[in-house]
Structure 1
Amino acid sequence: MNRTNINVKECIICYNEYDFETRKPCIGICGHSICENCKHQMIYSICPHCKREDAFAITTINYQVLEMIQHFKSMQQRLSEDSKGLEEGTCSECTIRSRKLRLCITCAVEAGVLKHDETKKEFVLNIVNNDTEAGLCRAKRIAICGDCALDGTHHEGHKTMQLAVLMSNLEDGIPVVVERKVNDIRDNGNKVFEVLKLKYETTIDSLKIYFEKFKDLPVDERKQHFNNIEASIEKVKDTLALVRDATRRFEMLNEEFEECLDVVKSNKKAVTRVNTVFASMDPVVVAGEFCPNTPLLIGVFNPKNQFWTPSGRMPNPKSNYAVASNKSQIFIVGGIFNGSFLPNVEMYDKDKNLRRDCNRLKRGRTRTSAGFHNGKMYVAGGYDNTYMDTVEVFDPDHGDWKDGPPLKRPRADGAVVSCNGELYALGGFNGKEYEEKIEKLNEQTQKFEVFGEMEGSRAGFGVCTFRGRIYIAGGWSSSSNTLRSVRSYDPMTNSWRDEPSLNKDRKYFTLHATSQTIYAIRGCADSWSQITEVEKFDEDRQKWDIISCTGTPSILEQGVS
């Protein structure tokens, strides 16, 4: 077997993984490592990889690799626990794995994990800010095994409950919770409309009083006064246009809900919407570095604890590639190396810690865009000495490529994004100017159609979908700037609005939306220096906060195997 890439977790002689017993990693003066068993069997001390003489004359255990392996195994265990049921995991006291974790009710109440429901006359999960998932995570962090529940001295006389029972109780209460949310949104909406009506009437009254003050002005001042009034009227018209857009949005939502109601009535089944992708709080695989002279670093960002954990570097050098994430996988598409436009596609799966080469693109391209829509990856536009409008579609289940419908406008460094069940292509540079046209894929005709305008385009930006809107951030709008501005687009009303700006200028970064917020993850500054800080959007305060990813263990950046 030809092994061109060194896996730092295994010996380069026997290809067995290192362990803490007979196969500890021994590092040579050349920097390469072999296992302790192979080291003792060596006749000469020449490095088997670089052939350096006396590289292994002295036995030196590589404890840094051992620490990395230990951390990686614990990380895999945590990911494994996250993927299993609530009741299975590690006891918080004895650290032994248990298939039926329990909660000490007394201790859980003291910790604020459980509370007593006077209506149900039972202990239930204490849910803060409607975040059930966070409540379950807190419960699992203090869960114990059956032995600790029976033998633990500080649990003596305390009652316990199985975590599975806690989950069952939550599921029984789902209809009540959802009904309460429906009622809450109705009540909140009524309050908003009452305030809106009051503010509108107050504003018009003030405008009328302002207008009537012309009687107190000299004749030569009245013309300017009337011009000011007309300008104020235009501002009111602009604001009313936003209200009409909201009205149209409610009309479209009502049509959707009525269609769903008809389906449930007719079929007695829940509505299945394959086009709808719900944001979650699951860990996401992201590319940590887009800098052209640095091998691509792959890592995992976990929104639950806001940890960034590097996984390793991809082996094949390139720059100006596209990146697309899908569940536990990340795809690296195209790029350029030594002047060649690459058709290569690489995939890394965080759950399996596996990197592999996928079938190649039909056409090599750099500065292309990639994104997932209805389970397939769309690669659109790019550059191959000409600005491209071609589209290729990858089926990850079968591993094959097909030609997709071409774009109406060629573009490079743009974006493709799925929003509300529709696929959009936006932004980028077309060889002459930054492309203003937004295109949408017509699913029936399988053609891209011009759908809207960017109203100020850019390239190399981050993009995501959040609460029915397409958010774009950062990038550049000329050859000499890097942006921090953020805007959002509503496809239902075909309208843009300005959003709070990032704290840092960023380009070639990941903009990731969860069910609760948006994160701007890593990327490059104007000078191509690496940005390691992550920013989090606070929708209530309408600002971005730089968050610390401290607590992330420092590990060796190994080559991805």
Structure 2
Amino acid sequence: MSIVNTTECIICYNEYDTETRKPCIGTCGHSICEHCKHQMLTAKCPQCNRDEAFAITTINYQVLELIKHFKAMNTGQSSSDGSVLESAKGFDEGKCNECTLRSRKLRICITCAAKNGVLKNDEKKKEYVLNVLNNDVEAALEKAKNMAICGDCALDGVQHEGHKTMQLAVLKNSLDDHVPPTVEEKMKNMESSAKQVCTDLMDKFTNTLESLEKYFSKHDVLLTAAEKKIHFNNIEASLEKINDTVSLAKDACKRLEILNNEFEENTKIVETHQKAVTKAATVFATLDPVLVADRKQSPREPLLIGVFNPLDNAWTPVGRMPNPKSNYAVACNKTQIYIVGGMNNGTWLQSVEMYDRDKNLRRDCERMKRGRTRTSAGFHNSKLYVTGGYDSTYMKSVEIFDTVQGDWKDGPDLQKPRADAAVVSCNGVLFVLGGFNGKEYEENIEKLNDTTHKFEVFGEMQGSRAGFAACAFRGRIYIAGGWSNSSNTLRSVRSFDPLTKSWRDEPSLNKDRKYFTLHATSKTIYAIRGCADSWSLINEVEKFDPDRQKWDIISCSSPIPTQQNEQSA
């Protein structure tokens, strides 16, 4: 087992691999991974403290061969002597908590685990499940791993004599097959919350009408004829405000009716086919940091990549991408950001660059099939969709990039050619909005029909724009900023409900913005950086408060660096 232990770094305890964590051997004989080697401030060995042991990077190819050997075991491939290696599928990587050796199959002592609250015995179901007291399966599994033992210790250990055991992998798989108990709890909480909202809505509506009636009644004894006319106009305006508010409640009723019909259809599908309903994946908002690329449209200055963290409102610059260009598209997918197309020296670019935050790595991806500038990009079902753009004509072609396979394929054409549009995935559906088609600002909204795999006209913008930012927030598509003619930059914000196909005006930003990032979390929306015009960068970030219906300018905790102290991404 000591040989196996040499396959992990002595600093970070991660397994070596053939990419970013290749094993590096020092002159003292100890090994660390290549990633940790580059992070070390000195060349001293962290194990034996020999000076200059890692002054020169030397890859340990013997360990690499050992890694290939174990990978072959995992896939059941043939070894070098022609014999088929035993499959190591189901290998539970980890150490036994008694003998400290690695085990192929770790086990849990049921009796001891039950005493420590990791397991509970449900006599009705005759099975053991995790006791997820805080609805945290991962934390409970981690607790179970801390008690895991190998087969020998389970059989020979005195303290476990006569006890039953179960494999840790079996325990986890049995959990994955069950509907989490939190679903029922969420439904109960939602029902309670919805009833409270309805009660509060009726109470507030009654109070509002009573207050308005009291306000109206004051005209008889307190106002002159001239003042009464102004007073009546104010009452009319107040009635319009109430009607606008009631229309929002009507939209909510319409949404619930649509959802009810959807759930009934899904129920019939499950009953008829006995299969789960297959739909496009819905991406849920989180508070994770988001990558941001400044879209200052300068072909002479490489764009700056940074990270904005919603938890502490911190902006951290990462560095500049090496290739100058203008009029490119930007799309972010969790920890990766893609820079797509653009223009340089009069050429429409096919190039695609990617920066990975976790690996702190920039690389050139497979080139697009067509060069395009002023194109639009966004993620849907973990694939990158690049739509429209300009290549001496306004384009309606679409290309789809598979980030796992690393290749491009042609997607369905848009119904309308457009450049400087927005691509948004909302409620599991991909939408393309706005832009300029060469003659006018495009009013048609298109959505991708996942069944027919075609784009179809879905609605209208009711006031189009280009170069704007967009995101999905609480089931609606929010659009902000951009421009509606060649000489203006907007600060107005609107939102679109895909279920009811209705628009509503939202509070405006504090600053005119274009070429910026609109990022939604589960609680709010951020308008991050951008430009007041094509050249002037905006450093401030704005945060939307849904309760106060207001955008606030927030100060980022990290200063924006000067060009001298920026590093290349």
**Pairwise same-fold verdict (TM > 0.5):** yes
Give the TM-score normalised by structure 2: 0.61
Q: Deviations over 1:109-139 (max 9, x none)?
A: xxxxx9999x99x996664xx8x5xx95799
Unaligned 5+ runs, structure 2: 1-20, 28-42, 44-51, 58-89, 108-116, 124-128, 150-166, 560-564
Unaligned 5+ runs, structure 1: 1-15, 23-35, 37-59, 67-84, 103-113, 148-161
The amino acid of 1:186's aligned partner reads E
* Distance apart, 1:342 and its partner CA: 1.6
The answer on whether the counterparts of 1:324 and 1:371 sit within 8 Å (CA) in structure 2 is yes
Q: Give the 3 Å change call, closer, same or farther, for CA 198–300 of structure 1 in structure 2.
A: closer
The answer on whether the counterparts of 2:339 and 2:354 sit within 8 Å (CA) in structure 1 is yes
Q: Give the 3 Å change call, closer, same or farther, for CA 286–442 of structure 1 in structure 2.
A: closer
The equivalent residue for 1:380 is 387
Q: Deviations over 1:215-258 (max 9, x none)?
A: 43555555444444333332222222222111111111111111
The equivalent residue for 2:460 is 452
Q: Matches of 1:481 and 1:90 in 2, distance apart?
A: 63
The amino acid of 1:416's aligned partner reads V
The answer on whether the counterparts of 1:418 and 1:465 sit within 8 Å (CA) in structure 2 is yes
Q: Matches of 1:115 and 1:17 in 2, distance apart?
A: 37
Q: Matches of 2:133 and 2:186 in 1, distance apart?
A: 17
1:524 to 523, 530, 544: 530
CA RMSD of aligned residues (A): 5.8
1:365 to 337, 356, 372: 372
Q: Matches of 2:119 and 2:509 in 1, distance apart?
A: 43
Give the TM-score normalised by structure 1: 0.62
Determine whether 1:288 maps to 2:296. no
Q: Matches of 1:535 and 1:62 in 2, distance apart?
A: 47
Larger mean Cα displacement after TM superposition, 539-548 or 299-308 = 299-308
The equivalent residue for 1:200 is 205
The equivalent residue for 2:238 is 232
The answer on whether the counterparts of 1:286 and 1:510 sit within 8 Å (CA) in structure 2 is no
The equivalent residue for 1:55 is none
1:400 to 408, 411, 428: 408
Q: Give the 3 Å change call, closer, same or farther, for CA 541–115 of structure 1 in structure 2.
A: farther
Q: Deviations over 1:322-370 (max 9, x none)?
A: 12234665432210111222232344566775723314333x2212111
The amino acid of 1:493's aligned partner reads T
1:205-216 to 2 correspondences below 5 Å: 205-216=210-221
The answer on whether the counterparts of 2:106 and 2:148 sit within 8 Å (CA) in structure 1 is yes
Q: Matches of 2:239 and 2:313 in 1, distance apart?
A: 47
The answer on whether the counterparts of 1:285 and 1:330 sit within 8 Å (CA) in structure 2 is no
1:324 to 303, 322, 331: 331
The answer on whether the counterparts of 1:361 and 1:392 sit within 8 Å (CA) in structure 2 is no
The answer on whether the counterparts of 2:329 and 2:375 sit within 8 Å (CA) in structure 1 is yes
Larger mean Cα displacement after TM superposition, 312-321 or 278-287 = 278-287
Corresponding residue pairs, total: 463
SS in structure 2 of the partner of residue 279 of structure 1: coil
The equivalent residue for 2:364 is 356
Determine whether 1:491 maps to 2:493. no
1:535-554 to 2 correspondences below 5 Å: 539=546, 546=555, 548=557
The amino acid of 1:190's aligned partner reads K
SS in structure 1 of the partner of residue 181 of structure 2: helix
The amino acid of 2:256's aligned partner reads F
Determine whether 1:186 maps to 2:191. yes
Q: Matches of 1:89 and 1:460 in 2, distance apart?
A: 49
The equivalent residue for 2:181 is 176
Q: Matches of 2:235 and 2:538 in 1, distance apart?
A: 51
Q: Give the 3 Å change call, closer, same or farther, for CA 19–303 of structure 1 in structure 2.
A: farther
Q: Deviations over 1:85-110 (max 9, x none)?
A: 9x97999xxxx9999999xxxxxxxx
* Distance apart, 1:140 and its partner CA: 6.5
The amino acid of 1:511's aligned partner reads L
2:349 to 332, 342, 349: 342
1:251 to 254, 257, 269: 257
Q: Give the 3 Å change call, closer, same or farther, for CA 549–187 of structure 1 in structure 2.
A: farther
The answer on whether the counterparts of 1:536 and 1:546 sit within 8 Å (CA) in structure 2 is no
Q: Give the 3 Å change call, closer, same or farther, for CA 172–503 of structure 1 in structure 2.
A: farther
2:284 to 255, 276, 279: 279
The answer on whether the counterparts of 1:460 and 1:476 sit within 8 Å (CA) in structure 2 is yes
Determine whether 1:422 maps to 2:392. no
The equivalent residue for 1:333 is 340
Q: Give the 3 Å change call, closer, same or farther, for CA 88–365 of structure 1 in structure 2.
A: same
Q: Matches of 1:483 and 1:372 in 2, distance apart?
A: 25
SS in structure 1 of the partner of residue 246 of structure 2: helix
Q: Deviations over 1:372-411 (max 9, x none)?
A: 335554323323445x142222252582332632343633
2:397 to 391, 396, 403: 391
Q: Matches of 1:319 and 1:508 in 2, distance apart?
A: 11
The answer on whether the counterparts of 2:495 and 2:504 sit within 8 Å (CA) in structure 1 is yes
The equivalent residue for 2:86 is none
The answer on whether the counterparts of 1:295 and 1:316 sit within 8 Å (CA) in structure 2 is yes
Determine whether 1:265 maps to 2:271. yes
Q: Matches of 1:507 and 1:98 in 2, distance apart?
A: 56
1:474-513 to 2 correspondences below 5 Å: 474-476=481-483, 486-499=493-506, 506-513=513-520
SS in structure 2 of the partner of residue 404 of structure 1: coil
The answer on whether the counterparts of 1:101 and 1:145 sit within 8 Å (CA) in structure 2 is no
Q: Matches of 2:301 and 2:463 in 1, distance apart?
A: 34
Q: Give the 3 Å change call, closer, same or farther, for CA 355–97 of structure 1 in structure 2.
A: farther
Q: Deviations over 1:469-496 (max 9, x none)?
A: 1122444556666555544321222233
Q: Matches of 2:446 and 2:289 in 1, distance apart?
A: 26
The answer on whether the counterparts of 1:439 and 1:452 sit within 8 Å (CA) in structure 2 is yes
* Distance apart, 1:200 and its partner CA: 1.9
Q: Give the 3 Å change call, closer, same or farther, for CA 244–409 of structure 1 in structure 2.
A: farther
Q: Deviations over 1:288-336 (max 9, x none)?
A: 3333343345566677898877776544331221122346654322101
* Distance apart, 1:179 and its partner CA: 1.3
The amino acid of 1:417's aligned partner reads V
The answer on whether the counterparts of 1:285 and 1:329 sit within 8 Å (CA) in structure 2 is no
Q: Matches of 1:498 and 1:89 in 2, distance apart?
A: 55
